[in-house]
Structure 1
Amino acid sequence: MVSPMIQTFVVVTVFTVIMIYLVYLGYFDTVHTEIGRKFYAERYSAKWITVLPPWLNMPYNTFVNLGYIVVGALYCAKTSVWLHVKQITLSDSVLFYTFNIMATFYGAIQAVRILTQFHRAAVLDQWYTLPFFMWVFVWACHLDSGIGIKGMGLWMTVSLLSYCLTLVHKHGFEIALALHILFAVYGAISIYRKFPIKKAQQPFVWALIFCAGFVFLKLADLELPKLNPMFEKISGHFLSKIADILQIYCVNQYFEILTLHKNNVQIKKSK
């Protein structure tokens, strides 16, 4: 029998390949993206010149994406352990696996954008961001009353199609992202009301802080070096990715606490 993690990996891979193919076909070539070194504050430090190849001219912004892979792999491993000892259900594991396999892919996609500075890589980076936030809403619906395959498919389809806003408005991505963040926060709050566990408060608050930090630091990337030259190395964009990785970690932690609590309650009721 194929493990749930492998099955989920195949599904996420298929959808990722479809997204890559649609971007490759040029459907989003008119979308506004920020491409070029002028949009990044990080400058190629002299100490890297003798160590790294010239094409790796933003090492901090490149290597930070390994953080997504580490967090994703960590929680995939934890999910496998929980499933093995029956602390979570098979459907619960699918939610964890999907979110964290997406995280590992997202790290690779962002690294490709930084290294190539290709428009289509930037488009894929933007587009792939949206399902992350929608998955938080789907996750909350799953814990609340169950959502099913059809429900998951519906909301993820809506999420993916929302990127078409970029075709009709210059700031279509920002509008779609803002709506996704609202959906994610609403879902997280609604499920907390059903399972008001004090232990879950801290990761929820930190996830909000890191989300706000991610947005602020990215927008302030070019302004921060005016305050201190240090931000030409440890740039706002680099720090925003640190915040984003920690946000993903806290979301995992939040749903870990709620999922384990829900299953413990159900086990006690069945006895």
Structure 2
Amino acid sequence: MKSALLHVSLPFALCVALANTSLFDQVQVDLSYEHYAEPRVEHLPRFLAMPCNCLVNLAYICVGLSWLLWGGGDKETAQSRYMRQVFALMAVFYAPVQWTRLAVLRRAPAVLDQWFTLPIFAWVLAWIGLIERGPAKWRASQAAALELCSVLSYGLALAHRRGFEVALGCHVGLAVWKGVRMQLAHGDGRTRRYLLLAVLSCAGFVVLKLLDHWLARYRLFQRFTGHFWSKVCDVLQFHFSFWFLTTLTERADGKSAARQD
């Protein structure tokens, strides 16, 4: 766990430092409460000004910690454990970034909220790479290179006002494509269910956020807004992705151990 914590916290700290410079002053981000459909509660402190959208971030921490502390299987390899722990720590670290964005409405946390989304999706690709190659052929440098490319892809946000959306769309598309390909090659009914739920959660994450203000016309979405439910879908996306990837990893590790025997 120390390696996973180090490898998540150091890039996290570097991105935080860069986001607090003038480097991203031209990036298109929303810095007002009007961006969100949930009405602000004036008598609450700023870190709870939009209670539902703020408190939902606790769900990321709960899911991340539950998978971080999950015992794993008897055949879980060191590489598999590392992939799981890094992904879990990403969920834990992502929560305070989103919460800070809502609390202070400043550029740096808004940039980080966008930026950190990309390496999270890229880690799914890295994990699938481990499953495909197996522990013997997998190298940590390959995952590091993939994550570096993902982090650098946020530079598209500097090149065009819709650059982040392009980068995110590519990340999501690649993660879904690799997941489907992995399911067709190595999955069964159980993993197909996890993958389907993860993809549906991903779709809900995107669509509900885009329809935040439109849905607020209906009473059902005036306090628990589309943005809130998109975050619920995002948490579920993490959870079902964990189930999909850990199940396939256990299966791949078991086959690798059987071949060695």
CA distance in 1 between partners of 2:46 and 2:196 (Å): 41
- The question of 1:74 aligning with 2:69 is answered no
Seq. identity, %? 31
Structure 1 residue 120 and structure 2 residue 108: aligned?
Answer: yes
**Could you say which residue in structure 2 is the equivalent of 1:183?**
174
Is 1:134 paired with 2:126? Answer: no
Q: Which residue of 2 aligns with 1:65?
A: 57
- Are positions 1:269 and 2:259 aligned together? yes
1:211 maps to which residue? 202
Does residue 98 of structure 1 match 2:90?
no
* Secondary structure in 2 matching 1:29: coil
1:238 corresponds to: 228
Aligned AA (1:251):
S
Structure 1 position 111, deviation (Å):
0.5
Query: Structure 2 vs 1, CA of residues 59 and 255 (structure 1 numbering), >3 Å: closer, same or farther?
Result: same
Please give the secondary structure, in 2, of the residue aligned with 1:243: helix
Q: CA RMSD in A?
A: 1.5
TM-superposed deviation, 1:208: 0.6
Whether the aligned pair in 2 keeps the contact of 1:141 and 1:187 (CA below 8 Å) is no
Q: Is the 8 A contact 2:76 2:253 kept in 1?
A: yes
1:29 matches 2:25: yes
Do the aligned partners of residues 44 and 202 (structure 1) sit closer, same or farther apart at CA in structure 2, a change above 3 Å counting? Answer: same
Residues 205-246 of structure 1: CA deviation (Å, up to 9, x unaligned): 0111010000000000011111x1332210111000000000
**Match of 1:222, SS?**
helix
Q: Distance in 1 between matches of 2:94 and 2:30?
A: 18
Which runs of 5 or more structure 2 residues have no equivalent in the other structure?
Answer: none
Partners of 2:118 and 2:259 in 1: how far apart? 37
**2:35 is matched with which residue?**
39
Q: Equivalents in 1 of 2:2, 2:96: separation in Å?
A: 19
Q: Deviations over 1:112-139 (max 9, x none)?
A: 0111111111001000000011111111
* Aligned equivalents of 1:247, 1:178: Cα separation in 2: 16
The 3-state SS of whatever aligns with 1:155 is helix
Question: 2:31 is paired with a residue of what secondary structure?
Answer: coil
Consecutive unaligned residues in structure 1, runs of 5 or more: none
Map Cα deviations across residues 28-79 of structure 1 (whole Å, 9 max, x no partner).
Answer: 1110001101100001358xx4xx435521011000001111111000111x
- Do 1:144 and 1:194's aligned partners in 2 also have CA atoms closer than 8 Å? no
| Structure 1 residue 186 displacement after superposition | 1.9
**Structure 1 residue ranges, 4+ long, deviating more than 3 angstroms after superposition:** none
Residues 1:9 and 2:5 are matched in the alignment: yes
Q: Which residue of 215, 228, 235 corresponds with 1:224?
A: 215
* Whole-Å separation in 2 of the counterparts to 1:7 and 1:158: 21
* Distance in 2 (alpha carbons) for counterparts of 1:56 and 1:121: 16
Partner of 2:246: 256
1:23 corresponds to which letter in structure 2?
A
**Under a length normalisation based on structure 1, what TM-score does the superposition of the two structures give?**
0.91
182-191 or 235-244, which moves further after superposition?
182-191
Distance 1:54 1:204, change over 3 A: closer
Paired residue total: 258
Task: Verify the 8 A CA contact 2:36 2:213 in the aligned structure 1.
Answer: yes
Q: Please, what TM-score do these two structures have when normalized by structure 2? A: 0.94
